[in-house]
Structure 1
């Protein structure tokens, strides 16, 4: 198919669609109360059937086929229908469910008609209904040959011979989810016509997809759009609790879209639902001397004053609401009495309908915080929450008082203390008017402890505030000498554990290092002292000093070979050899001294070897004789 032909077809289809929907439309002004309503009732059982005067279709209890209908609270009467409720969603609310007839004639397509009597001549009306194509396209039953719903709304005269108005909905195709859509037809009764017949006709033939539901059919009068405003041109007013509006002037402003002339009857209501006519108020203006409560005002409007109270002929203006905004009292979350060091706010219960400001006085005073439901005071005192409604901006003059107090408590700090092993220490705090409780169970101001550990003290004030501290006790043991040795030319002291120790070999002069160098041989008393006063230990050590050389040259410096400290041993023996193993000298008594001679003759410079036995220990080595 060429592009020109396609374009022509699209244009023709669009034109037909616009023509099909011509005539339908809603009342552009204000409507009156419904003259006729049909919502098909409520219940869990299908039906009841409509009379033959209402429909030409056949009633069935369920699963209507072509040319049949049912009335049910569930639209899913066939597997291809939407699983949905009526338009309003009311519990068990029903709707009329129609399966289009396979006969395309208008008589077979007429599925609903109803007469309406007692109308006014030359008056506008609106006929409306909610429709749904109940075919669920998600199940794919129609396989691309779906026939759309297309409904014609008609108004006939009372003789059912002359059509007064009509309009088509246009094609309503199935959807994958239920969609209710409202359609309406407006018309004006001609002279001498006070009764009409409402009709709905299915334009399409039966088949897959042409299945519909109808709900909430309404027929009502249609009049001007009449708006109620006050002297400032606004359509509503809010007042705060306790406030009074004096001389409220309201005015009805019609738009002359339907009526040429206007008659009025003002009405008032306390709830916006139940209305009462105000005697004598029939002008387009209403003056209310005083309003201090929620009130609603509107006006019935008709072209002829004789029809002002006739629901079949009048319309109803917009509603002017005077809304009284009641003050809201903030709900306190309680007085706040806390112990020093605890952070907490004064607060009221969060409420989205108000905002809260905080003050330091019941009236006036200083603004402390804005638009917050809690406030953290810096000082003790009473603080006041003031509520202002979000809607209407009404400030409650009665502020909510909340007392806030912080109790003073002793300031305690943890301590770490050291004691010498085997000693004791007194732990204490000195506060009056408090109760003491130690982790040992004692309740005195002080306790004495003699072992390492953590001791906790709790103080409870007269305001029941509890503070605590820890005493961490560490014991310092006395030093223990593990070993004393001669290493090279030094006396070296080792302890069993490290500590804050100092060392001495005379009991007077102490040093931090456990090493003493260049000592003469002899018997020494070694001292190890704990520097915090936790004890001194001593041990004797015989320091043997065997020289490495001697120089018998009569200069009084190292002229003889002698062993420092040998006199302190019970058993002493020494042998001196030359390099060939010849014994040159022996000794069995200390102190021992050798001048470097053999049989009265000086031995030459050379290395000589020795074997020394001190008690049960033997020392060997060599010594150099230097001349």
Structure 2
């Protein structure tokens, strides 16, 4: 634990439940209370704890988790007692006490003594504080909200039974969550004896309620005020770097109330958990010499020369010295850069950094950068690495600047037809890397052939022996070759118009139809035609970039009656993808049905708003094969029946 954390812990005691302190005693101590000289925390271990001789015989010990009325248990936790009418208390009150026990009581009708103990060898004729922590274990909702609250009396008596001090807790209320309550009593020990009897008495009635736990019974003496202070600062904590230490003088001030005090300075290396006497440090001043890095706590103790060795020791406040180690400064061992590039430094080991270097370079970044470096930036760079305590150390690194190559590339732009290639020529150094590699004969040579599938910009990195590089780029424009698609053959009823489903592709192309007869607009890619008889049209596409010519034919078959195809190929190639019945629109009441071999209907179409079958059922492709159709024209003619073959 750090010293800062220790001081916070001394001021605020962090516990798993809320705490309350009851102070109902008259003030006897005019000085300060020392650390406890007696602590009763009932020990620690697995459940159950052993019986306690300090609990009167009227109460029966039980090893069970939930003692019945008139019984007690020693537990490190209690859960789900009496159908959860009691709180679940997962640990005791004592801080940092794994498996620590507490005393759990289901009280009899009061008044009844629940704990009686004789404490011996206290300092005679001295004011002490008796402290007990108590908790009502009853849930507020239990007993229909009318539970009996515990009421405890603390008493201190001499061995003859005379009362030295007494206080009543008043009712300890139920709380959600459970609440530990501290009850404190000041008393003075007999003039000629340090032996006393402490007694805790339950006053409440029995019944539903009056169940509680107690823990951490302590006794601590009151003495004159003891003050430890540094000679050179009013602070109680000094933070210092290990290399900056000096001799630190600590002074002891002893208040009134001590006749012949003996002083002993002490040191703790674990945040005040354990203390050791400093040999020879028995004066009102102690000079602490430099020490290795770590956390040190100091205090002095006082006891009367004729007092018992341990029962009447009083301790001062605590002083702390935190010796901080210098950070281990680490800068990048070796930094090099290429002329014109960005250089990055990096350091570690601290919380703040200061860099200095050539040309007045200065930065407080952990990883500063220098953009566009030149040869004047080369040299030694130093970094000061500091930690949060202000301690620091240095490290350095050399920056070396290497010359960068100059990339040469030809051509800087080229155009070619799809499928053709062009040679690229790079130069300027030793090693080459092209990106992207697609379409190149090699991406690691100076002069690869480029045959990209589409317009591409190639970038080459030209490396020298220091891995420095320069880049150059070339744009290769790819002209698509012409491609003619006259579309699927058409079947049209004589006297009707049909539109071509044609298309053209290619970069900068011209196209024409031949013959132009019966076309409404021969200059269109998808013209309409109304031929009087079957005709074949040719679509010609010419590249204006010299990348070739493409042609395709389409047949428009003219029929004089409805035409039912015997097959189709629904493979999305644009040719015969649907089973199209020519002139079915002339029969608006017609119903077209298609069945598989088991008689399952796969398709229904109508003459009105005709939608040809696309070879699916419930939007899923059907298998290749032969299917039966029937067409009812609803014009007093026979139903047309036949088969259609689906090919994929």
Q: Structure 2 length normalisation: TM-score? A: 0.61
CA distance in 2 between counterparts of 1:206 and 1:440 reads: 99
- Are 2:370 and 1:377 aligned? yes
Residue 239 of structure 2 corresponds to 238
Residue 174 of structure 2 corresponds to 174
**Residue 347 to residue 310, structure 1, CA distance change in 2 (3 Å):** same
CA distance in 1 between counterparts of 2:419 and 2:114 reads: 111
Please tell me whether the aligned partners of residues 330 and 387 of structure 1 are also in contact (alpha carbons under 8 angstroms): yes
Choose from 107, 110, 115 the match for 1:112: 115
Residue 15 of structure 2 corresponds to none
Structure number with greater Rg is: 1
Please tell me whether the aligned partners of residues 507 and 543 of structure 2 are also in contact (alpha carbons under 8 angstroms): no
Residue 315 of structure 2 corresponds to 316
Q: How far has the Cα of 1:434 moved from its partner?
A: 2.1
CA distance in 2 between counterparts of 1:317 and 1:368 reads: 49
What is the 5 A alignment of 1:322-361? 322-330=321-329, 345-349=344-348, 354-360=350-356
**Residue 281 to residue 213, structure 1, CA distance change in 2 (3 Å):** same
CA distance in 2 between counterparts of 1:286 and 1:96 reads: 44
Q: Deviations over 1:169-212 (max 9, x none)?
A: 23221112132233322222231132001111122222333211
Q: How far has the Cα of 1:318 moved from its partner?
A: 1.2
Corresponding residue pairs, total: 460
CA distance in 1 between counterparts of 2:547 and 2:184 reads: 111
**Residue 179 to residue 423, structure 1, CA distance change in 2 (3 Å):** closer
Please tell me whether the aligned partners of residues 73 and 103 of structure 2 are also in contact (alpha carbons under 8 angstroms): yes
- Are 2:215 and 1:222 aligned? no
What is the 5 A alignment of 1:508-527? none
- Are 2:69 and 1:66 aligned? yes
Equivalent position SS for 1:245 = coil
CA distance in 2 between counterparts of 1:205 and 1:24 reads: 28
- Are 2:89 and 1:92 aligned? no
Please tell me whether the aligned partners of residues 105 and 213 of structure 2 are also in contact (alpha carbons under 8 angstroms): yes
Residue 545 of structure 1 corresponds to none
- Are 2:85 and 1:80 aligned? yes
**Residue 367 to residue 82, structure 1, CA distance change in 2 (3 Å):** farther
What is the 5 A alignment of 1:14-413? 22-23=24-25, 30-51=32-53, 56-62=58-64, 63-76=66-79, 77-78=81-82, 79-84=84-89, 85-87=91-93, 88=95, 90-102=97-109, 104-105=110-111, 108=112, 110-137=113-140, 140-159=141-160, 161-232=161-232, 233-246=234-247, 248-256=248-256, 259=258, 262-271=261-270, 272-288=272-288, 294=294, 295-302=296-303, 304-307=304-307, 310-330=309-329, 345-349=344-348, 354-360=350-356, 368-370=362-364, 372-378=365-371, 379=373, 383-391=381-389, 393-396=390-393, 398-399=394-395, 401=397, 408=404
- Are 2:407 and 1:433 aligned? no
CA distance in 1 between counterparts of 2:218 and 2:197 reads: 13
Please tell me whether the aligned partners of residues 355 and 381 of structure 2 are also in contact (alpha carbons under 8 angstroms): yes
Q: How far has the Cα of 1:326 moved from its partner?
A: 0.9
CA distance in 2 between counterparts of 1:117 and 1:343 reads: 79
Gapped regions of structure 1 (runs ≥ 5): 1-19, 481-494, 502-528, 538-627
Gapped regions of structure 2 (runs ≥ 5): 1-21, 485-503, 511-541, 550-648
Residue 474 of structure 1 corresponds to 478
Please tell me whether the aligned partners of residues 30 and 318 of structure 1 are also in contact (alpha carbons under 8 angstroms): no
RMSD: 4.3
CA distance in 2 between counterparts of 1:249 and 1:421 reads: 91
